[in-house]
Structure formats: C-alpha cells, structure tokens
Amino acid sequence: MDYDTVHLVVGGILYNLAIVLAALAFFTRFRRRWVILAVCVVQYVLLHVQLRLGLESNEDAGLLAYHIPVGVLIFFTAYLTVTLGFGLRLESESA
C-alpha cells in the first residue's frame, strides 16, 4: 500500500464516521445539541468537498490549492466538536 492509498482510506473512514458523529449528536446531554449537530454537518460537508477535491486533483493540480485549506477547516471543526463535547461554553462570562 502506498501513501496515496492510505490517505484515501483514512479520508473515507473519516467521511463515514462524520455521519455517525452527527447521529450521535442527538443523544448528547449538552443543552444546545443543535450546535454540535450543526458543527458535525459542516464537518461532513467539508469532508465531502475534501474527498472530491482529492479525487479530482489527479487530473487538475490546481485543485490541490483548495485541498489543504479545506483540510485545515476540517481539523478546526474536529477541534470544535471535541471542545463542545467537553463542555466549552459559547456564551461569554461576565467578571
């Protein structure tokens, strides 16, 4: 197995797990579970775009210019999902 195949397989696994994560958002005890659901849906859409960009970049190298920033956005949404899951509050605290 070469690096490209491993990269594609990991991307496909993450793509499918994003659907599972969105479904599990309904069962969270977080009051605003719709926020987590929205972040999960955004992550799913970004993963879909990322997967398509990766597959199409074999024919058009210019698409790789978008592939990396979308990957950074996916990393940010994953971080946001984890921090929301561990109780990050979205409202500001007054001193």
Domain of 45, in residue numbers = 3-85
69: in domain: yes
92: in domain: no
- Count of domains in the chain? 1
pLDDT tens for 32-59 read: 788 888 999 999 999 999 988 888 877 8
Check: CB of residue 85 under 8 Å from CB of residue 30: yes
CA distances from 70 to 21, 27, 95 (A): 19, 28, 37
91: in domain: no
Cα–Cα distance, 26 to 23 (Å, whole number):
6
Which two tokens mark 46? Answer: 């970004």
pLDDT tens for 52-71 read: 888 887 788 788 888 889 99
At CA 71, angle to CA 69 and CA 76, rounded to 5? 95
95: in domain: no
